[in-house]
Structure 1
Amino acid sequence: MKARVKWVDGMMFVGESGSGHAVVMDAAPDVGGRNLGVRPMEMLLLGMGGCSSIDVVMILKKGRQPITDCVVELEAERAATDPKVFTKIHAHFIVTGRGLDPKKVERAVALSAEKYCSASVMLGATAAITHGFEVVDDTAAPAA
């Protein structure tokens, strides 16, 4: 895997992934940024959320669960001193579907956290990571 980060101006940088995608990163105004992009540490948190969400959706689809939506809300705390690593992260999954089995959702979240999500495992080296989930049944919603 390769990536490239190029300085643009001030504290703004453009990150380019090996797969050909780009993202703007910027620092907070109090350190010279202009708040025009995602902070690098926010990107790490978003990466963990994306990684684990992909796992959860894939596991549920392979298990033939009728999933229609998946959202993960993340909250993190950082150390007060440098390096300000993540010390606590909580990932709360809201999984929607028509008649989803809560036990299978719980299993998908656990498998992602414990086995498949490399971002979670890596961040877990410095942070206490917890997970929660809720299942929303959308059987009353009209079929799309």
Structure 2
Amino acid sequence: MHANVKWVEGDTFIGKSESGHNVVFDTSNDGAAPSPMEMVLMSIGCCSSVDVVSILKKARQDVIAAKVELSSERADSAPRVFKKINLHFVITGNAVSEKHVERAVKLSAEKYCSVALMLEKSVEITHSFEVLAAQ
């Protein structure tokens, strides 16, 4: 895998992935785009969500919506690395089994989410979930 990041101006950078997709980063406090650390946080959420949704679909769960709410704690001084990350999944559907959601979250955390598995070596990562009935 390859990528590059180019400085645009000020605190703005554009990353380009090997697949040709561009992502804007902004490191200022009032930036117009996510910071690199925000991207890492969203990346763990996306990676794990892909797993959870896929596992639930394979289990024939009638999932209508899936969201992960991410919270984190960072070190107070530089380098301001993540110390803790919590992924709280909110799964909405028709008769979705909590047991299936629990299993999907666990499989993602322990086996499939490469971002989480990479980060867990230095970050305390926790998971929680809730299942909501579709309206």
Scaled by the length of structure 1, the TM-score of the pair is 0.90
3-state SS in 1 of match to 2:33: coil
| Rg comparison, structure with higher value | 1
Q: Give per-residue Cα distances to partners, 1:64-83, cap 9 Å, x unaligned.
A: 11111100000001111222
Give % identity. Answer: 53
Matched, 1:16 2:1: no
Ranges of 4+ aligned residues in structure 1 off by more than 3 Å: none
Match of 2:113 in 1: 117
Match of 2:74 in 1: 78
Q: Give per-residue Cα distances to partners, 1:74-123, cap 9 Å, x unaligned.
A: 00011112221100001100001101011000000010011100101111
3-state SS in 2 of match to 1:7: strand
Counterpart-to-counterpart distance in 1, 2:14 and 2:129:
34
3-state SS in 2 of match to 1:38: coil
Give structure 2 stretches of 5+ with no counterpart: none
Counterpart-to-counterpart distance in 1, 2:126 and 2:75:
17
Counterpart-to-counterpart distance in 2, 1:93 and 1:136:
11
Q: Give per-residue Cα distances to partners, 1:26-65, cap 9 Å, x unaligned.
A: 1124xxxx51211000000000000000000000011111
Could you tell me which amino acid in structure 2 is paired with residue 17 of structure 1?
S
Matched, 1:42 2:35: no
